[in-house]
């Protein structure tokens, strides 16, 4: 079946250079792309470019080919083609969409700084309102993932102002409102946690809500202090030295653990907020 379709397509393009043939082939490729059959669609777009190199659909075909690699989880190939597209089709209106996709690829790779830079360049080169709004929206998410809440709110507010798509506008507005309401987050200071546990072992853990760890740290420290004092009272100085050395390791570990627990607490609060934002976007999506 596929071989037959291929032969028919070759015959059509070999025997007919008409615009109608190119239009029909283009529509077929678009239909495949919209249905999610990206590999077949890519094959059709390439066939169009091979038999009709000067076709009016050249920029669209090149853009769709790059997109097909993106949707098939081949980011390296997709990024190369999007960069190539911007250089090859410098006058195409799709060049801004291509730059937006480069920002999306950096975002997907968690290279948030690179994504913001690519999108910043796009904001200063495009006058397409929808593309600019999408760039602000994606930059907002970049700042969300780096916990820069105020900058995220600013970008999302700009996306809300520029966006004409009601659904996308609702997403940007909801996210900005939630961030404004939920931030700043109730962070715990690792430095304070560390000093608390230095002064009173276990108090730093209690400060960040780790009650069991707090009790354990206090009990161990108390035990080592008791053993050291008892050894001194009975003049067992060698035992006192051994107990003190072991106890010091637990004591210092108690401080380090308190700092680590505070950092984990902060990270968990950030992840909870991000998950809340993602759920909100999912709830708004059709």
How many angstroms separate the CA atoms of 18 and 30, rounded? 19
Which pair of structure tokens corresponds to residue 117? 């830079």
Q: How does pLDDT run across 215-252, given as a tens digit for each residue?
A: 888 887 777 676 767 667 777 777 677 767 777 777 78
Which pair of structure tokens corresponds to residue 51? 């038999």
Q: What's the pLDDT score for residue 233? A: 77
Widest pairwise Cα distance in the chain: 107
Write the CATH number of the domain with boundaries 1-92. 1.25.40
Q: What's the pLDDT score for residue 7? A: 40
Cβ atoms of 188 and 262 within 8 Å: the answer is yes
Q: What's the pLDDT score for residue 9? A: 46
11 has pLDDT over 70: no
How many angstroms separate the CA atoms of 88 and 82, rounded? 10
DSSP for 32-91, please give it: HHHTT-HHHHHHHHHHHHHH-TT-TTHHHHHHHHHHHHHHTT-HHHHHHHHHHHHHH-TT
Q: What's the pLDDT score for residue 254? A: 87
Half-sphere exposure of 37 (CA within 13 A, CB side): 11
pTM for the predicted model, two decimal places: 0.81
Q: What's the pLDDT score for residue 18? A: 46
Residue 77 region, left (φ>0) first, then alpha (ψ -120 to 50), else beta? alpha
Which SS3 state, helix, strand or coil, does residue 214 take? helix
- Name the percent of the chain lying above pLDDT 90: 60
- Name the percent of the chain lying above pLDDT 70: 90
Pick from 129, 128, 137: nearest CA to 169: 137
Which pair of structure tokens corresponds to residue 249? 């390791």
Pick from 58, 150, 133, 62: nearest CA to 98: 62
Q: How does pLDDT run across 126-171, given as a tens digit for each residue?
A: 888 999 999 999 999 999 999 999 999 999 999 999 887 888 899 9
Q: What's the pLDDT score for residue 70? A: 97
Q: Where are the domains of the chain?
A: 1-92, 112-184, 190-284
Q: What is the mean pLDDT of residues 69-76?
A: 96
Q: How does pLDDT run across 15-63, given as a tens digit for each residue?
A: 444 467 778 888 999 999 999 999 999 999 999 899 888 888 899 999 9
Q: How does pLDDT run across 84-127, given as a tens digit for each residue?
A: 998 999 899 899 999 999 999 999 999 999 999 999 989 988 88
Which pair of structure tokens corresponds to residue 137? 């929206």
């Amino acid at each position: 079946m596929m071989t037959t379709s291929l032969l028919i397509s070759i015959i059509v393009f070999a025997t007919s250079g008409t615009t109608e043939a190119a239009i029909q082939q283009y529509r077929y490729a678009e239909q495949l792309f919209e249905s999610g059959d990206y590999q077949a669609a890519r094959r059709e777009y390439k066939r169009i470019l091979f038999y009709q190199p000067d076709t009016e659909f050249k920029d669209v075909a090149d853009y769709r080919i790059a997109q097909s690699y993106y949707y098939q989880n081949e980011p390296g190939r997709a990024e190369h083609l999007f960069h190539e597209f911007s250089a090859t089709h410098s006058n195409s209106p799709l060049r801004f969409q291509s730059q937006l996709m480069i920002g999306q690829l950096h975002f997907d790779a968690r290279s948030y700084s690179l994504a913001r830079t690519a999108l910043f360049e796009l904001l200063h080169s495009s006058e397409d309102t929808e593309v600019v709004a999408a760039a602000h929206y994606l930059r907002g998410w970049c700042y969300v993932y780096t916990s820069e809440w105020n900058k995220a709110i600013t970008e999302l507010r700009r996306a809300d102002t520029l966006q004409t798509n009601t659904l996308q506008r609702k997403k940007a507005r909801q996210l900005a409102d939630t961030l404004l309401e939920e931030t700043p987050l109730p962070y715990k200071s690792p430095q304070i946690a560390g000093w608390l546990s230095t002064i009173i072992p276990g108090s730093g853990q209690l400060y960040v809500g780790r009650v069991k760890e707090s009790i354990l740290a206090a009990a161990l420290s108390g035990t080592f202090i008791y053993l050291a004092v008892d050894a001194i009272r009975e003049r067992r100085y060698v035992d006192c030295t051994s107990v003190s050395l072991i106890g010091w390791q637990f004591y210092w570990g108690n401080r380090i653990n308190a700092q680590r627990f505070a950092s984990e607490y902060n990270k968990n609060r950030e992840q909870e907020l991000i998950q809340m934002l993602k759920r909100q976007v999912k709830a708004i999506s059709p």
